[in-house]
Amino acid sequence: MTETSATPASVNVIHAAALQRWVRALLPAISLTIVVLAIWVLNPRAISYFGFSLMLGLAVPIALATIAQMFVITVNDLDLSIGSYIGFVGCVTATILRNNPLLGIAILLGSVALYAAIGALIHLRNLPSIVVTLGMSFVWQGLAILVLPTPGGKAPDWLLAMMGFKPPFLPFPIIAALIIAAAVHFGLMRTSYGTILRGAGGNPAAVGRAGWSLLRIKATMFGLAGLFGVFSGIALIGTTTSGDANIGNGYTLLSIAGVILGGGEFVGGRVSPIGAVLGAFTLTLAATQLLGFMHIPPDWQVGANGIILIIVLAARALISRKET
């Protein structure tokens, strides 16, 4: 019997591959750190409790919208209606939920059920999710206008108190993000059923042969997307204090970009809840704060956000190529 041992060259290759995987996993945190450091260089006073509270005012609803999109992407679909859906939820929150809480809760629960039904329909009829959700975006937009034809309404008092909470040491958006990331990470990445849900995106045939209902999984993931979309819309109204049918229109692209910046991929069930939240925070800080400190005109800020996304994706592609 002969004994074999790894050569120094092979050990170095293994260590290099492991290092590259770690760098790829840490890329969302690295991106956020770079943005924070850039803000600190441009305006050191912004790096404070008060500064982060102001800069991250919209981070919580964007993070929740990103998580909602992540659930859909996990099963290899894409939701183009999440932005208008958040706008609809916001209109309901600023009007019906405030004036008639029981009716408002019933409407929001019904919207979550409808989201799950849309996922079931996509699976049963083998429809392209992009087309179905694009059509639903007009439905949600129309419903939002019916609920609130003109901007107005007001957030419920309990919601204003919750979103205005000022805990010691850390601003509320950071604490909320930690709770969101930890809860979703545990549920999706650390539980047996979470493994099944992700497996439906990675290898649906194998999951189906194992006896799991792909129809139920698809409905569950879309239902979770609808639920977190409700959370996002409620948090958004708690931040802006009033409703508008168009308030969530930009959240569709932001949610997709947040998932991708967080290390998610469009196929294979490869997502990261923690990375998605970090991606949402990166977009929040880069979209307005960093570009504002750099005196970039608002008309150019959307293009600048696209450049940031392309740079991060190029870095991921370079690291992935080295891994192979």
- Per domain, the residue ranges of the chain are 24-319
Query: How much is the pTM?
Result: 0.90
pLDDT band of residue 283 (cuts 50, 70, 90) is confident
pLDDT at 85 over 60: yes
- Residue 174: how many CB atoms within 10 A of its CB? 18
pLDDT at 292 over 80: no
pLDDT at 80: 95
DSSP H or E stretch at residue 108:
helix 101-124
Mean pLDDT of the chain: 87
CA distance 104 to 96: 5
Do 237 and 159 contact (CB within 8 A), yes or no? yes
pLDDT at 10 over 70: no
Extract the tokens encoding 98: 């405030």
Name residues whose C-beta falls within 8 Å of residue 9's C-beta, 6 or more positions apart in sequence: none
